[in-house]
């Protein structure tokens, strides 16, 4: 029985342990905090998903289409396939190494989410996951910001910073549904890295430092702006050291975070230590150098008791040691001195082995660098941020975050210094490049939250029955009432509600149709031009088509349209972009065709902005095409002074960007304006829709530009055909490229005799060379024995004239003629001879037996003429009979001059060497 009682007691203890009443109580504050965070998460998610509710879900912007392409490839073929993928559909004909030029963060994250969601039994495609992922990451960042704010100060700061991140336009714009680019995971990675780094810094936590390193590694493989955070850590470490705030917590946090993060980043082919020049980049050397200095300082502190003994032992060897330390410094200085003497500069492409600096990074640090890099400056998001954009994207927070800097600076904790540096660096970087306003968002959220918390803290104490300012903090002592607290909270709440409202409105407005930049008040409906154009590319154009365009549209054409592209938004080959700009801005169609043929482009796409400001069409981008082409190809090839200069009508003002007449001869202008109505009446007669006409007739558009209207072409001369014009507003035009004119041009350059095309009214066929005939192109023909002829040639669209001047030729006694044949064979030759075999005008050919035979149709006497030393011929273009050689304009044939000295039959006495002749045709 005792054993039974013991068993019962054991069972009782077990059940009491399992089903015990919890002693810990969940406070009301904790419940409210969880509810608040849940509301913030779903509010942030809803604001960012608003575009999916107001319009068709679509991938936004340019780069996002490339990210979608990579994600679909990874989802279909697996992660490993990415690292051996070479894409031949972009940057034709060279192709693009995808792993060497792509960050994997976004596509791998999206593919992982796709696998997880479908693994849970929820059927969803890659496109939907990609469209929604940025919104999900934005909402997650909102939560992470709470924990960062809490770690920095308290829960109130965490909640406020989370609220600000949820509704800040600066962050919404790059995390809205469909914005599927590096920033969507980049900011998340920055915030979570800062969270763990601050935890490690405050607590000396090694697990937090490891977590910070892993998150930094995720950032390194996701976004090029990771250099910002690594160099921010370097700046922070250096500042802590020089201000005497060094600690072992700083050393361990710094070294663990940076070593893990940089190691992970170096494993990616995009930023590989081996191939990308990372080991010699400033972004790598700065944090590594600071880490080395911190480690050396720690060693110096630890060996403090041995310093005096060590110094005494080393004193006799001071000179060699000093020389060993100074020599490398002198060597580096000498290297830079030599570099300067050779007129070299810091290179963005790795020619300088010590200071390899990326172009974007260098332009942020040194805004003047962009003045020398016009291809970099041509990207709108690389331009400096106007001050108005700060208020537009930050709203009232722009006034709060400097106050937050002040409060943190005054408090002066290590983590406070880090956040202050974060804010200062982000402001500077955003001022240099508008795109980096995204990095400013979490800094502003944190600092503005700190400002609000510090300002409202005294009033919060009133509610907690603590109503007196502390004399030490505010230097005054004033009693506060609950009315004061209510007024303060109401005022701040109203200010912040403006930020929330503007953020919601911004998120809703981001739901506008993609691909079109703006709408105009006179039109209604959605902008679908790019969607319909890409549908045409994908569904109508032949598979494998290569579409040439300005680089802005490369990702759209390749990602959304599925066509091969020559250049795209990666801008990895500046020379190819310059050639594209030159092809579009060439002053004749033949030269454009010559460039397009380098890539075997089958179509050309242009974006027609109707000269309306804000549309972003090629009619506004063309100056950059000229400038970039000049930078890479040289002034001898193309000079922007040919297209842009001083307006002659404004003699009192000197200008440099006035559109000169040469622009209206460019291929781009012809492609943009061909087939466009010149007036509203013409547009109506063409049957254009009212929506299309509303754009054509828009006030300030091309119809109000007399110079534009006056130069509009009526013909593209067969070079560009089958124009596709997008609906509904005619913004996108796609032409088929016909290289016939280019082949004619090649034939002309290869021909030994290349006559001109022109008027033949001066060719009288009277046996005398008139002044007009002598103006024709002339060529020498050597017959030998002192007989040298000069041949005058010119053609028009129907026939070609030959005037042979042969001193010593005697009318009636001698015979003289021409023999013309296809290239490579004389078996079928056309013979035109004066005074041969009893025929005054002999029109013959070489028959199947190789004999000379007279044409059965006889000769047209009006095509022959003879005089003193002069013989003239007309040859029709196109075969008049099967016995004639068909002469086609633009094609090459072979020709020779025949001469019978004192005889009029048999083989010629003398004959010139065969020469290739180009049948002239008009080239444009």
pLDDT of residue 352: 42
CA distance 45 to 160: 17
How do strand 564-565 and strand 546-548 relate by DSSP bridges? parallel
Neighbours of 766 (CB within 10 A): 13
Mean pLDDT of the 727-734 span = 90
Q: Is the pLDDT of residue 43 over 80?
A: yes
79-96 pLDDT tens trace = 999 999 999 999 999 999
pLDDT of residue 387: 63
443-452 pLDDT tens trace = 999 999 998 8
With vertex at residue 608, the alpha carbon angle to CA 607 and CA 614, rounded to the nearest 5 degrees, is 95
CA distance 116 to 136: 14
CA distance 271 to 220: 8
The lowest-confidence range among 172-176, 564-568, 596-600 is: 172-176
Token pair belonging to 532: 């319909």
Q: Is the pLDDT of residue 727 over 90?
A: no
Q: Is the pLDDT of residue 351 over 50?
A: no
Neighbours of 343 (CB within 10 A): 6
Neighbours of 7 (CB within 10 A): 10
Is residue 870 within 8 A of residue 804, CB to CB? The reply is yes
Q: Is the pLDDT of residue 2 over 60?
A: no
Q: What is residue 563's DSSP assignment?
A: -
Q: Is residue 595 packed enough to be buried (19+ CB in 10 Å), middle (13-18) or exposed (0-12)?
A: buried
Higher pLDDT, 146 or 381: 146
Q: Is the pLDDT of residue 152 over 50?
A: yes
Mean pLDDT of the 813-826 span = 92
Asked, as a colleague might, if the bond just before 571 is cis with ω within 30 of 0, I would say no
669-716 pLDDT tens trace = 999 999 999 998 898 999 888 888 888 888 888 998 899 999 999 999
Query: pTM for this one?
Result: 0.84
Q: How confident is the prediction for the chain on average, in pLDDT? A: 84
Q: What is residue 781's DSSP assignment?
A: E
Place of tokens 């075969």: 879
Residue 344 confidence class, pLDDT cut points 50, 70, 90 = very low
List domains and CATH numbers for the chain. Answer: 319-354 (no CATH), 529-738 (3.40.50.12610), 748-918 (2.60.40.1190)
Measured N-to-C along each axis, helices 248-267 and 282-302 cross at an angle, to the nearest 10 degrees, of: 150
Residue 483 confidence class, pLDDT cut points 50, 70, 90 = low
Helix (H) or strand (E) holding 642: helix 640-643
Place of tokens 């974060």: 422
169-190 pLDDT tens trace = 888 888 888 889 999 999 999 9
Percent of the chain residues topping a pLDDT of 90: 50
252-297 pLDDT tens trace = 999 999 999 999 998 888 877 665 556 667 778 888 889 988 888 8
CA distance 618 to 204: 56
Q: Is residue 85 packed enough to be buried (19+ CB in 10 Å), middle (13-18) or exposed (0-12)?
A: middle
Mean pLDDT of the 499-522 span = 60
pLDDT of residue 476: 42
CA distance 626 to 799: 40
Neighbours of 673 (CB within 10 A): 21
CA distances (Å), 789 to each of 30, 581, 794, in order? 106, 46, 16
């Amino acid at each position: 029985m005792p054993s039974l009682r013991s068993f019962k007691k054991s069972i009782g203890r077990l059940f009491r342990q399992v089903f015990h009443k919890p002693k810990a109580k969940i406070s009301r504050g904790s419940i409210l905090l969880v509810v608040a965070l849940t509301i913030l998460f779903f509010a942030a998610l809803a604001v960012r998903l608003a575009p999916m509710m107001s319009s068709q879900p679509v991938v936004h912007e340019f780069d996002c289409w490339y990210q979608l392409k990579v994600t679909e490839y990874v989802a279909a073929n697996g992660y490993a396939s990415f690292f051996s993928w070479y894409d031949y559909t972009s940057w034709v004909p060279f192709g693009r190494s995808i792993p060497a030029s792509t960050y994997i963060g976004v596509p791998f994250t999206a593919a992982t989410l796709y696998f997880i969601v479908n693994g849970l039994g929820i059927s969803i495609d890659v496109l939907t996951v990609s469209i929604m992922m940025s919104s999900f990451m934005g909402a997650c960042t909102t939560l992470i910001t709470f924990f960062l704010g809490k770690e920095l100060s308290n829960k109130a700061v965490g909640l406020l910073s989370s609220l600000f991140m949820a509704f800040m336009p600066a962050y919404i714009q790059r995390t809205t549904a469909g914005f599927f680019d590096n920033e969507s995971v980049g900011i998340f990675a920055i915030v979570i890295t800062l969270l763990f780094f601050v935890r490690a810094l405050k607590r000396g936590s090694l697990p937090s430092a490891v977590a910070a390193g892993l998150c930094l590694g995720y950032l390194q493989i996701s976004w090029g702006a990771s250099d910002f955070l690594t160099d921010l850590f370097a700046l922070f470490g250096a500042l802590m050291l020089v201000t005497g705030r060094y600690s072992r917590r700083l050393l361990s946090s710094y070294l663990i975070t940076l070593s893990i993060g940089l190691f992970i980043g170096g494993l990616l082919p995009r930023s590989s230590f081996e191939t990308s020049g990372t080991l010699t980049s400033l972004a790598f050397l700065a944090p590594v150098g600071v880490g080395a200095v911190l480690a050396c300082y720690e060693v110096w502190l630890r060996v403090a008791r041995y310093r005096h003994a060590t110094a005494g032992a080393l004193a006799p060897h001071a000179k060699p040691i000093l020389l060993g330390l100074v020599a490398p410094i002198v060597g580096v200085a000498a290297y830079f001195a030599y570099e300067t003497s050779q007129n070299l500069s810091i290179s963005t492409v790795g020619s300088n082995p010590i200071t390899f600096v990326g172009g974007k990074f260098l332009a942020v640090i040194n805004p003047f660098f962009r003045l020398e890099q016009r291809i970099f400056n041509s990207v709108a998001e690389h331009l400096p941020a106007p001050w108005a954009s700060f208020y537009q994207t930050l709203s009232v927070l722009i006034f709060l975050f400097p106050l937050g800097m002040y409060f943190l600076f005054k408090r002066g904790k290590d983590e406070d210094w880090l956040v202050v540096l974060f804010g200062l660096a982000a402001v500077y970087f955003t001022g240099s490049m508008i795109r980096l306003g995204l990095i400013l968002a979490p800094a502003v959220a944190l600092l503005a939250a700190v400002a609000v918390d510090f300002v409202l803290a005294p009033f919060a104490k009133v509610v907690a029955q603590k109503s007196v300012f502390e004399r030490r903090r505010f230097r005054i002592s004033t009693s506060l009432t609950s009315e004061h607290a209510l007024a303060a909270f109401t005022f701040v709440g109203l200010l912040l509600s403006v930020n929330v409202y503007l953020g919601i409105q911004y998120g809703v407005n981001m739901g506008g149709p993609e691909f079109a930049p703006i709408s105009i008040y006179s039109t209604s409906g959605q902008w679908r031009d790019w969607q319909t154009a890409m549908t045409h590319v994908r569904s109508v154009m032949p598979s494998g088509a290569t579409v040439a365009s300005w680089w802005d549209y490369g990702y759209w054409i390749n990602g959304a349209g599925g066509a091969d592209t020559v250049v795209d938004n990666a801008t990895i080959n500046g020379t190819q972009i310059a050639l594209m700009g030159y092809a579009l801005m060439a002053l004749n169609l033949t030269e454009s065709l010559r460039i397009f043929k380098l890539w075997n482009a089958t179509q050309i796409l242009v974006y027609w902005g109707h000269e309306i400001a804000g549309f972003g069409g090629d009619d506004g981008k063309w100056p950059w095409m000229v400038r970039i082409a000049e930078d890479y190809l040289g002034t001898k090839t193309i000079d922007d002074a040919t297209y842009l200069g001083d307006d002659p009508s404004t003699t009192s003002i000197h200008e440099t960007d006035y559109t000169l007449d040469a622009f209206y001869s460019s291929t781009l202008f012809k492609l943009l304006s061909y087939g466009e109505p010149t007036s509203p009446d013409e547009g109506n007669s063409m049957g254009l829709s009212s929506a299309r006409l509303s754009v054509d007739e828009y006030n300030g558009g091309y119809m109000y530009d007399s110079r534009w209207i006056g130069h509009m072409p009526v013909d593209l001369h067969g070079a560009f055909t089958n124009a596709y014009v997008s609906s509904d507003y005619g913004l996108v035009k796609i032409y088929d490229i016909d290289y016939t004119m280019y082949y004619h041009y090649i034939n002309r350059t290869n021909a030994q005799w290349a006559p001109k095309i022109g008027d033949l009214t001066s060719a009288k066929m009277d046996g005398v060379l008139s002044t007009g005939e002598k103006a024709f192109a002339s060529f020498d023909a050597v017959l030998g024995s002192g007989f040298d002829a000069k041949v005058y040639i010119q053609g028009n669209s129907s026939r070609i004239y030959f005037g042979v001047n042969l001193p010593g030729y005697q009318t009636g006694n001698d015979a003289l003629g021409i023999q013309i044949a296809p290239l490579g064979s004389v078996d079928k030759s056309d013979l035109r001879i004066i005074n041969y075999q009893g025929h005054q005008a002999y029109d013959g050919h070489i028959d199947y037996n190789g004999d000379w035979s007279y044409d059965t149709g006889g000769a047209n006497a009006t095509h022959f003429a003879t005089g003193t030393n002069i013989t003239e011929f007309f040859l029709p273009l196109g075969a008049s009979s099967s016995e004639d050689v068909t002469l086609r304009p633009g094609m090459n044939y072979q020709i020779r001059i025949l001469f019978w000295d004192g005889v009029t039959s048999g083989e010629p006495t003398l004959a010139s060497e065969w020469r290739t002749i180009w049948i002239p045709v008009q080239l444009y």
